[in-house]
């Protein structure tokens, strides 16, 4: 099985199309909606974790692009501002994906990009604003 996280950006004219339905029915892909913001007659964004065969994944991405959707891989990076971080761990309680944890030896916050869902809750939870996340 092939699995990849993608970001789909919708234009105002396409938000009413059954995109997720097509991914399952026409391409046999399983998906997890990690984040979505879609409004009628407005632009939107959806972050999906897609799983299926590589062939079907590639066909689905081509289909989405033919519809006029902007499809990109999910790229993320978390950084910690050493001057601001007090290693309080406030961000950890908000990371439901388990992508953030404290190394017991160094007491530094560690980020596992493979587990990150891109929810940005760690950024909001950090009281000193030492954590930043970028979704491209």
pLDDT digits (tens, 9 = 90+) for 11-25: 777 767 788 899 999
pLDDT digits (tens, 9 = 90+) for 93-136: 888 888 888 899 998 888 776 677 666 787 889 899 987 766 54
Full set of structural domains in the chain with CATH: 2-73 (3.30.70.260), 76-135 (3.30.70.20)
Both structure tokens of 81 = 């501002």
CA dist., res. 54 & res. 95, Å (int): 29
CA dist., res. 94 & res. 78, Å (int): 14
CA dist., res. 102 & res. 24, Å (int): 38
DSSP category for residue 135: E
pTM > 0.85: no
């Amino acid at each position: 099985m092939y699995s990849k996280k993608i970001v789909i950006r919708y234009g105002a004219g396409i938000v009413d199309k059954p995109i997720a339905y097509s991914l399952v029915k026409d391409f046999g892909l399983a998906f997890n909606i990690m984040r979505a913001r879609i409004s009628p007659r407005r632009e939107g964004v959806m972050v999906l974790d897609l799983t299926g065969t590589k062939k079907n994944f590639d066909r689905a991405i081509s289909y989405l692009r033919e519809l006029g959707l902007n499809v990109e891989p999910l790229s993320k990076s978390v950084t910690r501002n050493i001057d601001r971080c007090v290693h309080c761990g406030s961000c950890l309680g908000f990371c439901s994906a388990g992508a953030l944890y404290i190394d017991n030896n160094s007491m530094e916050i560690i980020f596992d990009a493979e587990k990150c869902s891109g929810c940005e809750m760690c950024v909001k939870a950090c009281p000193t604003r030492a954590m930043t996340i970028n979704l491209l």
